[in-house]
Amino acid sequence: MSTTVLAAGNHFIRPGLFAEAVRAAAGDTPLDIRELRYDWPHTPFGPVGEVIEASGTEDEMIEALRGVEICVTEHGPLTERILAHCPDLKLFCTSRGGPVNVNLAAATRHGVPVCHAPGRNATATAEHTLTLMLAAARGVGDTHTDLRRGVWRGDYYDYDRCGIEIDGATVGLVGYGAIGSRVAKVLVALGAHVLVHDPYVRPEALAGIAEQVTLDELLGRSRIVSLHARVTDETRGMIGRKQIAAMRRGAILVNCARGALLDYDAVCDALEAGQLAGAAFDVFPEEPLPAGSRLLTAPGVVLTPHIAGGSQEVAHKAARIVAEEVGRHLRGEPLVHCANPEVFQGS
């Protein structure tokens, strides 16, 4: 008898990619794989029921999950209502770094383990961070815009405009997790001196790579500051006017983490006043970026539309991580990336 699986993909991690990975992980186990495609990223995700980041509708998911035991998805929602209508569901795997499209408490109450894919995009985001860092350091945003407008400006060779090198620069990283640690290693290879502020990092993890300092010291010493912290009650808005004023004049600020970490109006003021020489952002307080945003006209800014974590390798990696959890489930083995392990208590 075969196990019924729903592969609910989108235009990034396609349903067929999930299906292929699940078949490989399942080995000889007979599978009946159904496919469903959501329209993300062509249509933005958003709230569905009580979950904050999902695609599609509850009704669509309820219909797709009829008779399904295992679901692998990226943005498909799992809400209280869906769980109540899908009693056959035994495992739900979301290929996000965290289960933001899942009502985890409800899943636990219904006895459904939820797996996710931590670290899936760490390499891609680290590489994109370095791309933006280098672009901001050399003024690529403004020079690119000028050339696209047909303007060739020789004054970008002026001392105050020609940018800085990473080699020999002091670069501060706020956060030293899977992404920040990768960024640090490349910066060291480029000749930078790396400072880190992360109250949770172990000293041995920094040995030979970076120097642990307070946030105030990092801001005051760094020529470039890059944010890599998670958003918590403690870190929300952690870089505001006071912190930007404490940075070296002419410093550069980079954020590929989360928009909620930073006061973007304060950044624009600092860019216009010359306190900051440049900035580079992949994340914003409101997405999509509003047409009237000051970031679109502020000097020295490089912008990308929240794509740091998107690469072809990420799609394959994320599908493989959740498919391996499906394989473990089918073999009766412990799950590695289960977000609600309490679901197994008393079982």
* Active site members: 258, 287, 306
The secondary structure element, H or E, covering residue 255 is: strand 251-255
Could you tell me which of 267, 274, 227, 221 has the C-alpha nearest to residue 244? Answer: 267
Assigned token pair, 239: 């870089």
C-alpha 231: how far from chain center:
11
Look at the block and give the residue holding tokens 């760490």.
Answer: 122
Q: Cβ(261)–Cβ(232) under 8 Å?
A: no
- Distance CA(347)–CA(335), nearest Å, equals 14
Assigned token pair, 89: 């569901």
Q: Cβ(48)–Cβ(73) under 8 Å?
A: no
Q: How many CA atoms lie within 13 A of 173 on its CB side?
A: 33
Q: Cβ(197)–Cβ(219) under 8 Å?
A: no
- Distance CA(72)–CA(326), nearest Å, equals 8
Side-by-side strand order, sheet with 224-227: 210-212, 193-197, 170-174, 224-227, 251-255, 276-281, 301-303
